[in-house]
Amino acid sequence: MGTLSLNDYEDVRIWAPWGHISGRWYGNRSDRPILAIHGWLDNLGTFDTLIPLLPDYLGVLCIDLPGHGCSSRVPSGIRYNTAEYILIITRVMKEYKWTKVSLMGHSLGGVLSFLYTALAPHTVDLVILLDIEKPPIDTTGRMDYFANIIDKTLVEEERAEEGSMHEPPSYTLSQLRSVLSKGSHDSVPPEFAQHLLYRSVAKSQLYPERFYFSRDGRTKYYTPLPATAGLIAELAGRIKNKPYLIIKASESHFIDSEDNEVISILKNQNPHFEYHEVSGRHHAHLTNAKECAQYIVPFLRRYRPPTVSSWSLSGEEQKLSQREHQKVQERFFARNIKRFNKL
């Protein structure tokens, strides 16, 4: 069997009361896909280097969370928060009439996957978490964060109102790569920034060859779920006998010693629990997709094996070499960047 292609996708729009949820469905569109959810301030492009390494008998539906990528913003006066983001999973399931869901999430997307699985375990058949394990636990520092975002949220609303009259600051593509990389604390190197930029910038109407960030600024100050260690432990205890894979990035602090209790809970009550570490920073699934795929692909083949109807004798012949993968990606991004010139 072969692997998925970045060129084999269908753009989808899922209805929501405030507009739509945008997504791309890669590969097999006859069977229920893996639902992939990106991290905070990212978009579905975060999975671009991982998609071509996954088996082609499966489909993968990658979505942009509200306010991110090409999805609609929530109305003015409404705050982004974890509870509403969790409901996005339910909205997607309702759209396609799924009774089960397979979840893969990075960072915030992984937090949502953990919480949804704990709240509705009977509807989840497998979970893949990329460099995240649970929501952050409230501390004194977290309370300072909550206090800080109150005023900043109102500032972002004012900026949005001004944006309808004045265009936001614009940059060249080279500058955008540097800005995005710095904003990720160098987790996304400039040479990988293009994977996120093609869905998060718009072409300037004032300055040729310049672009500005088009995501909703209010997403920077979304409201996380208030969580104590006891609550997180109780939620973890609800996840039993569920194929559950966690991949930690070696140079990231998003999974540390504070997570040992929850990992122990998940592991001790679940014979299908796996935990692996790969080299890289928080976006290792983007910058080191090959090593991540060494664990993800066997996991998917074990718990979402191919059906007879999905077998392909020509699949092996269609496998791309590493150089061919790179060529496909270069053509893919060149096409997406060109569309900005037509805006």
pLDDT at 242: 95
pLDDT at 311: 52
| Orientation angle between helical segments 229-237 and 260-268, nearest 10 degrees | 20
Q: Answer whether residue 331 is part of any domain.
A: no
The answer on pLDDT for 77 being more than 90 is no
Q: Taking a C-beta distance cutoff of 8 angstroms, is the pair 44, 63 a contact?
A: yes
Tokens for 112?
């949502």
27: domain range? Answer: 9-135+218-326
Q: Answer whether residue 174 is part of any domain.
A: no
Q: Answer whether residue 207 is part of any domain.
A: no
Distances in Å between the alpha carbon of 327 and those of 56, 190, 260, 330, 331?
Answer: 19, 19, 41, 5, 6
Model confidence at 79, pLDDT cuts 50, 70, 90, reads confident
pLDDT average, residue stretch 291-318: 78
Model confidence at 319, pLDDT cuts 50, 70, 90, reads very low
pLDDT at 286: 98
Mean pLDDT, the chain, integer: 89
Q: Answer whether residue 297 is part of any domain.
A: yes
The catalytic residues are 107
The CATH number of the domain where 235 resides is what? 3.40.50.1820
Q: Answer whether residue 22 is part of any domain.
A: yes
Q: Answer whether residue 332 is part of any domain.
A: no
Q: Taking a C-beta distance cutoff of 8 angstroms, is the pair 102, 125 a contact?
A: yes
Q: Answer whether residue 170 is part of any domain.
A: no
Total structural domains within the chain: 1
Q: Taking a C-beta distance cutoff of 8 angstroms, is the pair 258, 139 a contact?
A: no
Q: Answer whether residue 26 is part of any domain.
A: yes
Between residues 190 and 343, the one the model is more confident about: 190
- In this structure, of 9-13, 165-169, 171-175, the range with the lowest mean pLDDT score is 165-169
Terminal C-alpha separation, the chain: 39
Total-model pTM: 0.88
